[in-house]
Amino acid sequence: MAYCPTTELSLEARDRVVDISLTGYFLMARECGKNMIKNRYGRIINTASMFGRISSFHNPILAYNATKGAIPNFTQSLAQEWAEYNITVNAIGPGESPSEMMVFDDAALEQLKERCPIGRPGRIEELCGQLLLFASESSSYTTGQTIYIDGGWTCV
């Protein structure tokens, strides 16, 4: 990820983030969509981020925030286009959770406790319920939605 002030962000670094966080979604949807349209059925679940809806307070990550902010609109547009084929397109918007890309030191955990309404980082397994719902027939009438699983960050 390109962690740097925008004035120092190179076009190459920005392009790399866009290629991963936006172009990759387009390519995957385009190729999977061909088979889904043919079969008149499908479920696409995109991954946005709470940082597509709110800005990151501790790291300048403009390119990431911008691409993740595009995912809800991408999701809505694709949902509208492919609804007639019984394809639903939804997204989850995770909050901060430990991962290979996100490691919390004591200072970061303290900031998170102060700013996140739930007061802790998320756990990867807390995404599973919404993923399973979007993948199931129980959400066959739900399309074009982004659900933020963020401990309340986007509600304040």
Q: Which two tokens stand for residue 68?
A: 């993740």
Which among 3, 25, 41, 64 is annotated as catalytic?
Answer: 64
Say if residue 75 is exposed, middle or buried (CB neighbours under 10 Å; 0-12, 13-18, 19+). Answer: buried
Structure-block tokens of residue 141: 């009438």
* 143: DSSP letter: -
CA atoms within 13 A on the CB side of 41: 5
Is 64 in the active site?
yes
114 — alpha (psi -120 to 50), left (phi > 0) or beta? alpha
Catalytic residues, by residue number, are 64
